[in-house]
Amino acid sequence: MIADIQRKINITPMKDMVQFLAITTDPSKDTPEVLRAHGPAHGLDASNWMFLTTRPGQPEDTTRKLSEAYKVRFEPLDDDQQMHGAVTHVIDRGGRFAAKFHGLRFDPLNMVLYINGLSNNVQKPGREQPGWWDRLKNLFE
């Protein structure tokens, strides 16, 4: 479903304004090599899709803490797995939580239209604050 949303976004001018981000909460298993293979296997376009994991030496819970900052919760299971709901979050330019799309049964066009509304709500020049992308990159530099 997310690949479909990305395709719909990427045939519009929004392609240059929208960044898709998947954050692993299990960096010991989701290595950069595993994540690089995940995108093509699921039809994702790397031009505006990024998989976030920890860097060597970072605490393993770094990405979990980032996810939890956006109210994503995880329940550990006995077999070293994690349980979480299927939720897609939309974060605006300012790094603020904008919307949650629950499950896998929503109409992808609804998310595309919502993102279109956000991408057309541009601040006036001179008033821009550092966006979520800049703040996120600073966490991992």
What are the structural domains of the chain? 2-139 (3.40.30.10)
Q: What is the pTM of this model?
A: 0.72
Q: How far apart are CA 65 and CA 63, in angstroms?
A: 5
- Return d(Cα 60, Cα 72) in angstroms, integer: 16
Q: What share of the chain in percent tops pLDDT 70? A: 77
Q: What is the mean pLDDT of residues 13-39?
A: 87
pLDDT digits (tens, 9 = 90+) for 107-133: 889 999 999 998 887 655 555 566 666
CB count within 10 Å of CB 23 equals 19
